[in-house]
Amino acid sequence: MSALKPLKKAVLPVAGLGTRFLPATKALAKEMLPVVDRPLIQYAVDEARAAGIEQFCLITGRGKTSIVEHFDVAYELEKTLEERGKLDILAELRAMAMEPGSMVTVRQQVPMGLGHAIWCARAFIGDDPFAILLPDDLMLCEESCTAQLATAYRETGGNVVAIEEVPRDRVNRYGVLDVAEDKGRLVSVKGLVEKPAPEVAPSNLTIIGRYVLMPEVIGHLARMERGAGNEVQLTDGMARLIGTQPFHGLRYEGRRFDCGDKAGFLEAQIAFALKRPDMAPAVREFLKRYS
Ligand code: UTP
């Protein structure tokens, strides 16, 4: 058997309309909404880097240029910070600077669904395995969630998606696993269904916004078959890989916050602030006023 190709590429789709966050997202990219003091997209890029990812592809759309600006070097700002002696924040900005040439953007002209967004990255993906991170799923994990997937990929080869259990009445919001064998941390998969009605869902194990996929998924997405919500669904493309390549779900360790949802976004603010030594005491104090 030939050696596994290393996982070095990540695709970050940010072309969605963010309708659940209107009017905030009318002129502002959802992925630029900050949790404490950094935008959602920054958490996703940091998580991917912690997993050894070296090449990034942002799938952008209308109104998303501020995301690209965010990853550029702000020369005048850095110079001013230096002159004013604000060296801590300057060091932080420099630490997040991208390696020149390591980030590309591709435009998804029409938001036809997540599967279509990933297909738009086909030239970037080429023949390599790749991670996908949906930045509105914000992960609070000791070890980067993408790093956990990368480890599982090295164990099993093939496709690995991060999964969690949800109450049955909520499975219709997610891609759901049809389980071949549940081995605990890893689950081998015999089918996938996008947004099934609870009464016909094959399980309550759902896919969250973290994936490691093989490049062959692109050929299936290229059929442009419309699925749930009349969108080109990534889940449908992934389902076609099953039987031809290994496909596993990984029960990741950590917590997910759905920051595409208002309540999830607010909870993330509290959870992330409580993890910060510079903020936790003040946040604990003010929270007393609301209990
Ligand atoms: P969502 O289902 O959260 O859709 O997309 P959305 O448009 O961002 O937000 P709502 O539901 O209208 O509030 C999941 C991920 O897929 C990307 C989104 O940017 C997000 O990261 N996506 C979705 C695309 O890039 N293109 C699409 O056509 C659809």
Query: Is 228 a pocket residue for ligand 1 (Cβ < 6 Å)?
Result: no
Tokens representing 161?
């998606």
Tokens representing 9?
């590429």
Mutational pocket test of ligand 1: of 17, 114, 173, the residue with most ligand atoms within 8 Å of the beta carbon: 114
Query: Is 16 a pocket residue for ligand 1 (Cβ < 6 Å)?
Result: yes
Q: Whose alpha carbon is nearest atom 4 of ligand 1?
A: 16
Predicted pLDDT at 200 = 95
Mean pLDDT along residues 12-24:
93
Domains of the chain from N-terminus onward: 9-290 (3.90.550.10)
One-letter-per-residue 3-state SS of 212-236 = EECCCHHHHHCCCCECHHHCECHHH
SS3 at position 112: coil
Residue 1 has pLDDT above 90, yes or no: no
Peptide bond before residue 23 is cis, with ω within 30 degrees of 0: yes
Query: Is 13 a pocket residue for ligand 1 (Cβ < 6 Å)?
Result: yes
Mean pLDDT along residues 8-13:
98
Can you tell me the distance from the alpha carbon of 71 to that of 102, in angstroms, rounded to the nearest whole number?
Answer: 11
- For 2-136, where are the alpha helices, taking DSSP H only? 40-49, 65-70, 75-83, 87-95, 114-119, 122-125
For a pLDDT cut of 70, what percent of the chain falls above it?
Answer: 99
Angle between helices 262-274 and 280-287 (to 10 degrees): 130
Q: Is the pTM of this model over 0.75?
A: yes
